Structure 1
Amino acid sequence: MVATPTTSPVTTVVYALGYRTWADALRVGSAFSPERIATRLRDDRSVERAVLVDPVRSQLRRLKPDRPAPPPFAIDPSREHLQPRRWRRGEPTERDEAVAVQRRLDRRLQRHVDPSSTVLVTSHPVLAAVADRDVWRDVAFYAWDDFRGVPDSAALVGWAYAEVVARDVNVVAVTQAIVDIIGARRSTVVPNGIVSADFEEQAAVPAWFAALGGKVAFYAGSLQRRIDVEALQDLADDLPAEWTLVLVGPMQEPECFTDLATRHNVLIRDAEPRPQVLAMMAVADVCLVPHVPETEGMSPLKVYEYLGAGAPVVATDLEPMRGLSPHCRLVAHGARLAPEVLAAAAGPRATAAETAEFRSAHDWDRRYLAWRAAILGS
């Protein structure tokens, strides 16, 4: 049943994260949209009360020594951080269990706030699917990715998307592709973004990068099957001798990169601290977004960061990449990257004025205003 509209004012926003906790986000540099939204919601004084909710985790994790605790979400009592627990481990992927877990969380959150004056926002599709629309002022699903890609969860998330539509949940997504996949009546696209201040003081590049010499085609991000590895193999084979293809990021699916790693002009490195990654972007000759077509639902942070760093970009021609900048060259899936990489390296780089304009247009302060308007109507 869909809730009857109410005129009670919104005083509270609850944001329930999906799949990754606040601590998880801080450990990888707080660069992605959930934590950017959470931080701005925390600092938004037009919201009387804000509650950040971690995904449900196992009680057993408390029995093991952990890494040092990250900084707290807030010290202001009107800004809270809940860390719900259950005894079982792992993210449930079977529907009955997942629904039970998220319904318990929904009831707990209803007891914690006055739901009649609260908008519940969640990035967990199952919570969005089962949250009681008759109780909450409104329910919104913030889809910062297409969560059908979560391991072993495609069927569960597909079911949740259908429930989101049936229950008239408000959908705010990072791409039009996700909006279209879900098909909700109420929907808004708010793409990914950057923080302009991150680029104002450039760190030194790592010593190994400085020692490369020659020209560099650079990729930063998780090393997984979302990358068009065949396109990168062709690129490595096609590049002139003075070029090195560099990939930096956590290796999540090493079996995908075995052949690429054998190329003499390919260097694959583990994740580096975020300031050093931004510095490498800024000095690379060309930065790359070689994604497979199945990633069209993504709003890749890296393309915004590359352009925010002033680098020329060559990317697979997918809808989220289009119209961002004249310094972002698009290549059809299946076409070879090398001609555009060489043309991008030979062409003029973005001017300081162009880079500053791009940063301002895509800064998270501006993105958050669009997100808040979509969630709260103001």
Structure 2
Amino acid sequence: MKRDVVFTFSYETYADAAARGMMRPPDRILQTLMSSDEVGNLLVANPFRSLASVAARGIRPAESFPARADRRLITPTRLARRDPVSVPAIVRTYRSYDEQLRTAAARAGMSRTAIVTTNPLVAAFCPFGWADTVTYFGRDDWLSSEARQAYWPAYAAAYRQISESEVGVAAVSQQIIDRIDPRGPAVVVPNGVDPREWMGPRPVAPDWLAAIPGPRAIYVGTIDSRLDVEGIAHLAVLRPDLHIVLLGPTPEPGYTRALREIPNVHQHAGVGRSELVAALRNCDVSLLSHRRTALTEAMSPLKVYEYLAAGLPVVSVDLPPVRGIHERVTFSASTAEMAPQVDDALERGPLTDAQRAAFIEDNSWGSRHRAVLELVLRSSARHRAAAPANV
């Protein structure tokens, strides 16, 4: 029997997901829900947007949601631009969000509704008395996000509420599960890859990459505080013949100032999915050169799965979620100490075609999402405890 489902983003919208090529884990889960024969009505909810911003900006061109009678997108609105910081005020805010979702679900004729949200505040503080089950999908440990430190008390309260309310939890790492300590059902669902992107002959290298000599070591992703800039600089000086490519957006350009005068370190802005695949498949080794923090120790780095799908050996700092992914992932205590592992990876060369194909098959998003669907579409749980007014 089909189940009706409500899916909510965390802090980004469907337009944001579409603009980046639907490539992050929440985006992929939404794609699976939209195409699943087990899902009846599907209501997709953006995060709150202020009335002023909606009036000023309208619907962006990227908001090309493939709407149909049983697939709808809504954008709940409020006066404030941002969430309040105090926990009681956040509880009141998300009760309002819950009411807007309830109204939209009722208008869509939804019943036996399963909720899946990527926002812990939604999972914790929306009462959802009208829903059948609630599932939280954790891509990051929000309680370790330095960028959202003002909200750490709210996230701590949300984790407690998720646990006590027996909300179902799917997370990309065991570390996130352990930090929430859910009393309800839980499953670890690491990141994966889309075989359609990675199979087939190697594409031609982008012009900007072809202009960089080899051997090339590549790091992809947002260039932010997770990246060990000092370690990259040290590695580049130790191995001047190794050309290190940092591929991705840099929200704070000053963060990588120390790398600008190093001739064998190359930065390039973020690119589309096909160009990303082409870039990875035309490099020689890949790097997971993160600083060790509570946040990075709880991540399941999507880039590692894409590195291996491209056939690249991986040299990584030793982080728990990366252990056991594949034999061609080698570890270093820090980025600054990676030179011997990089030398070994270059000497061994890329994965064979058979190794690459086997990895892609074993780690496809399709295989990952079976576990997510089983959790989201589970039978009705016991009655959900109401979110307290003062947590």
User: Shift of residue 134 of structure 1?
Assistant: 4.3
Counterpart code for 2:351: A
In the alignment, structure 1 residue 96 sits paired with structure 2 residue 96:
no
Mapping 1:114-133, distance limit 5 Å: 117-132=112-127
Say if 1:90 and 1:183 are closer, same or farther in 2 by CA, change over 3 A: same
How much is the aligned-residue C-alpha RMSD, in angstroms? 2.0
SS of residue paired to 1:37? helix
Q: Give the alignment's TM-score, normalised by structure 2.
A: 0.89
Counterpart code for 1:267: H
Say if 1:80 and 1:65 are closer, same or farther in 2 by CA, change over 3 A: closer
SS of residue paired to 1:293? coil
1:76-96: CA deviations, max 9, x gaps? Answer: 211111111112213443323
Residue of structure 2 equivalent to 1:247: 246
From 2, 5, 24, give the equivalent of 1:13: 5
Residue of structure 1 equivalent to 2:386: none
1:214-242: CA deviations, max 9, x gaps? Answer: 31111111001111222212211111x32
User: Shift of residue 198 of structure 1?
Assistant: 0.9
In the alignment, structure 1 residue 355 sits paired with structure 2 residue 356:
yes
User: Shift of residue 61 of structure 1?
Assistant: 2.1
In the alignment, structure 1 residue 211 sits paired with structure 2 residue 203:
no
Residue of structure 2 equivalent to 1:195: 194
Counterpart code for 2:344: A
**Does the aligned pair in 2 maintain the 1:42–1:74 contact within 8 Å?**
no
Mind listing any 5+ residue stretches in structure 2 that lack a counterpart?
380-391
Say if 1:189 and 1:355 are closer, same or farther in 2 by CA, change over 3 A: same
Residue of structure 1 equivalent to 2:54: 62
Say if 1:198 and 1:92 are closer, same or farther in 2 by CA, change over 3 A: farther
User: Shift of residue 153 of structure 1?
Assistant: 2.0
1:125-183: CA deviations, max 9, x gaps? Answer: 11111122544211111111112215232222112111111212111111001001111
CA distance, structure 2, for counterparts of residue 370 and residue 169 of structure 1: 16
User: Shift of residue 116 of structure 1?
Assistant: 6.0
SS of residue paired to 2:286? strand
User: Shift of residue 101 of structure 1?
Assistant: 2.1
Counterpart code for 2:161: E
User: Shift of residue 71 of structure 1?
Assistant: 5.5
Between the two proteins, the alignment pairs up a number of residues equal to: 369
Residue of structure 2 equivalent to 1:259: 258
SS of residue paired to 1:296? helix
Residue of structure 1 equivalent to 2:230: 230
Point out the more displaced range, 91-100 or 306-315. Answer: 91-100
User: Shift of residue 72 of structure 1?
Assistant: 3.1
Say if 1:293 and 1:79 are closer, same or farther in 2 by CA, change over 3 A: same
User: Shift of residue 102 of structure 1?
Assistant: 1.2
CA distance, structure 2, for counterparts of residue 158 and residue 331 of structure 1: 32
Say if 1:171 and 1:76 are closer, same or farther in 2 by CA, change over 3 A: same
CA distance, structure 2, for counterparts of residue 125 and residue 36 of structure 1: 18
CA distance, structure 2, for counterparts of residue 77 and residue 133 of structure 1: 23
CA distance, structure 2, for counterparts of residue 17 and residue 221 of structure 1: 20
Counterpart code for 1:146: D
Counterpart code for 1:261: R
SS of residue paired to 2:11? coil
**Does the aligned pair in 2 maintain the 1:123–1:142 contact within 8 Å?**
yes
1:17-64: CA deviations, max 9, x gaps? Answer: 101111011112211011100011011011111111111112222333
CA distance, structure 2, for counterparts of residue 77 and residue 44 of structure 1: 15
Mapping 1:79-94, distance limit 5 Å: 79-94=71-86
Counterpart code for 1:165: S
Q: Give the alignment's TM-score, normalised by structure 1.
A: 0.92
1:259-298: CA deviations, max 9, x gaps? Answer: 1233221111211222112111112111111122221111
Residue of structure 2 equivalent to 1:182: 180
Point out the more displaced range, 215-224 or 148-157. Answer: 148-157
Residue of structure 2 equivalent to 1:278: 277
